[in-house]
Structure 1
Amino acid sequence: MARTRVPSTSLLALTLTAGLALTTTGCGGESESTSSSTGGTGSAPVVVATTTWEGALAKAAGAKDVEVIVPQSVQHAPDYDPRPSDLAAVAGADYVLYAPFEPYAAKIKEAAGSDAELVEVNLDNDADETKAEVARLGELFGTEDAAERWTAAFDSEYATLQKGLKAKWPDGKQPTVVAQVFATWAAKMAGADVAGTFGPEAVTARQLSDLSRKKPRLVVDNAHMTTGTVLPDSGAEQVEIVNYPGTDLDLLAVYRDAAKTVETAMAAS
Structure 2
Amino acid sequence: MARTRVRITSLLALSAALLLATGCGAADDPAPKDGAKPPEGKPSVVVTTTWEGAFAKAAGAEDIKVIVPQSVHHAPDYDPKPSDLAAVAQADFVLYAPFEPYAAKIKEAAGSKAKLVEVELDNDPAKVSAEVGRLAGLFGTAEAAAQWKKGFDAEYAKLNKELEAAWPGGRSPAVVTQVFTAWSAKLAGATTVGTYGPEAVTPAQLAELASKKPALVLDNAHMSTGPVLPDSGARQVKIVNYPGEDLDLLPVYRNAAAELKKAMSGS
TM-score w.r.t. the length of structure 1 is 0.91
Query: Is the CA contact 2:91–2:114 (under 8 Å) kept in the aligned structure 1?
Result: yes
Residue by residue over 1:207-230, the C-alpha shift from the partner in whole angstroms, topping out at 9 and shown as x without a partner, is 010000111000001000010000
Q: 2:71, 2:8 → 1: CA distance? A: 24
Structure 2 residue 16 is the aligned partner of structure 1 residue 16? yes
Q: 2:12, 2:140 → 1: CA distance? A: 35
* 1:1-269 equivalence runs, <5 A: 1-19=1-19, 40-268=38-266
Q: 1:40, 1:7 → 2: CA distance? A: 31
Query: Is the CA contact 1:22–1:85 (under 8 Å) kept in the aligned structure 2?
Result: no
Residue by residue over 1:182-228, the C-alpha shift from the partner in whole angstroms, topping out at 9 and shown as x without a partner, is 00000111000000000001110000100001110000010000100
How far is 1:233 from its partner?
1.0
Q: 1:192, 1:143 → 2: CA distance? A: 35
Pair member with larger Rg = 2
Q: 2:233, 2:75 → 1: CA distance? A: 32
Residue in 1 that maps onto 2:26: none
Residue by residue over 1:132-172, the C-alpha shift from the partner in whole angstroms, topping out at 9 and shown as x without a partner, is 00000001100000111111111100000000000111121
Structure 1, unaligned runs of 5 or more: 24-38
Distance 1:22 1:169, change over 3 A: farther
Q: What is the DSSP-based 3-state SS (H/G/I as helix, E as strand, rest coil) of the residue aligned with 1:209? A: helix
Residue by residue over 1:120-142, the C-alpha shift from the partner in whole angstroms, topping out at 9 and shown as x without a partner, is 11101000000000000001100
How far is 1:9 from its partner?
1.9
Residue type at the aligned position of 2:162: G
Residue type at the aligned position of 1:69: I
Residue in 2 that maps onto 1:30: none
Structure 2, unaligned runs of 5 or more: 24-36
Q: 1:219, 1:20 → 2: CA distance? A: 52
How far is 1:13 from its partner?
2.3
Residue type at the aligned position of 2:256: A
Q: What is the DSSP-based 3-state SS (H/G/I as helix, E as strand, rest coil) of the residue aligned with 1:56? A: helix
How far is 1:21 from its partner?
7.0
Q: 1:79, 1:237 → 2: CA distance? A: 31
Query: Is the CA contact 2:2–2:77 (under 8 Å) kept in the aligned structure 1?
Result: no
Count of matched residue positions in the alignment of Structure 1 and Structure 2: 254
Residue by residue over 1:230-262, the C-alpha shift from the partner in whole angstroms, topping out at 9 and shown as x without a partner, is 001111100111100000000111111111111
Q: 1:20, 1:50 → 2: CA distance? A: 24
Distance 1:68 1:149, change over 3 A: same
Query: Is the CA contact 1:18–1:87 (under 8 Å) kept in the aligned structure 2?
Result: yes
Query: Is the CA contact 1:217–1:236 (under 8 Å) kept in the aligned structure 2?
Result: yes
Query: Is the CA contact 1:180–1:198 (under 8 Å) kept in the aligned structure 2?
Result: yes
Q: 1:65, 1:20 → 2: CA distance? A: 26
